[in-house]
Chains A and B, each alone.
Chain A
Amino acid sequence: MGRAAAAVAMLALSAVGAGARAQNPPAREPQPEPAIVAGVFVDTAGKPIAHGVLSVVGESLRVVTDSQGRFRLAVPPGPKLLAARALGYQPLVLTISLEPGQSTIRQVRLQVAGVPLPEMTVVGQRYVPARLAGFVERRQRGLGLFLDRDSIEKRPRSEMSDLFVGRAGIRVFQDPYDPTKRHVLFTRCEEMSFGPGAGGAHTGNRIGVYIDGSRLPGSSSSDAASNLALINSADVEAIEVYRGPSELPDEFMTDNCAAIVIWTRAGPR
């Protein structure tokens, strides 16, 4: 027999051997038919509990209840411990012992877990931007008139100067000769300018209007009113008003007799 014929004969023999192995696979241990546990999670009032978890203790088998509290879990036969859990309920352990292929239906009734929480006090504080730290500090000193967002919103107004109508020490009025003009006057400054002891001289009835820390040009009562008219009150976060030199803090003293200091919600832009 030539070399080629010998090789063919060997291949044929090995094919026969392989066929024999395929016909006799290694014996596998027969798996017992699982048992079935089905049922529903309910609370003590009989209301279904969704998203509860039923698991076999010591094994990785688990199932989550549906929106109706229902579950169905295949478990190995024999005695088993089942753990039932749901958020907000006390866990429960069940004992079952089922034969292969056997089914059982269980209603798992869980009790609400009362979790006592320690008493707490919640304190709310309105967010104040860092650039308004000065406003908060001056308001704490108490000298002047201070309006925050809440008090601005409460007051009916068609324009900014309306916010000062009826405030002690401030007069807001229409110019008698020019209906397009308004004035914002501070009575204490008027008295200092024209009152007794002033000698009739105009001694500093200057009103400074500031926005976000910048002084606006002009210092007369009509300048104050027209500067205020440029500002939309909806954009304003806070206002401080100093009605005379005795109220003016150093920051706004300069040569002012009175000052209106406005802080916008967005800041300079």
Chain B
Amino acid sequence: MTDSHPKPPRVAICDDHRVVAESFRRMLRPTYAVVGAVATGEELRTLLGTADVDIAA
């Protein structure tokens, strides 16, 4: 039996420009579940360690 309402893939966004990250967050919803938007690789590493993420972009 398959789930008729599959959960959207969970995405983490990393961009050093707040507006760029926010724009991607807006574009990806609601097809994707954006779990967070961070500005640096270090912050992304922390996010990946704490949240369940399918895609990091």
Query: Which residues of A pack against B, CB within 8 Å?
Result: 211-212, 214, 216-218, 223, 226-227, 230-231, 264, 268-269
Those of B24-57 within 8 Å (CB) of chain A: 24, 26-27, 39
Chain B residues closer than 8 Å to A218, beta-carbon distance: 23, 27
**Are A217 and B18 in contact (CB-based, < 8 A)?**
no
Interface size, B (range): 10 to 19
Query: Which residues of B pack against A, CB within 8 Å?
Result: 15-20, 22-24, 26-27, 39
- How many Å lie between the Cα of A268 and that of B17 in the bound state? 5
Chain B residues closer than 8 Å to A227, beta-carbon distance: 19, 23
**Are B20 and A211 in contact (CB-based, < 8 A)?**
yes
- How many Å lie between the Cα of A264 and that of B18 in the bound state? 11
Chain A residues closer than 8 Å to B27, beta-carbon distance: 217-218, 223
**Are A211 and B17 in contact (CB-based, < 8 A)?**
yes
CB distance from A85 to the nearest CB of B (A): 60
Chain A residues closer than 8 Å to B17, beta-carbon distance: 211-212, 214, 268-269
**Are A214 and B20 in contact (CB-based, < 8 A)?**
yes
**Are B18 and A226 in contact (CB-based, < 8 A)?**
no
- How many Å lie between the Cα of A223 and that of B27 in the bound state? 9
Of the listed residues B18, B22, B24, the one surrounded by the most CB atoms of chain A closer than 10 A to its CB is: B18
Chain B residues closer than 8 Å to A226, beta-carbon distance: 26
CB distance from B57 to the nearest CB of A (A): 10
**Are B24 and A230 in contact (CB-based, < 8 A)?**
no
CB distance from A229 to the nearest CB of B (A): 9
CB distance from B13 to the nearest CB of A (A): 11
A216-B20, A231-B19 given; name 14 further pairs at CB < 8 Å.
Answer: A211-B17, A211-B20, A212-B17, A214-B17, A214-B20, A216-B19, A217-B23, A218-B23, A226-B26, A227-B19, A230-B22, A268-B20, A269-B18, A269-B39
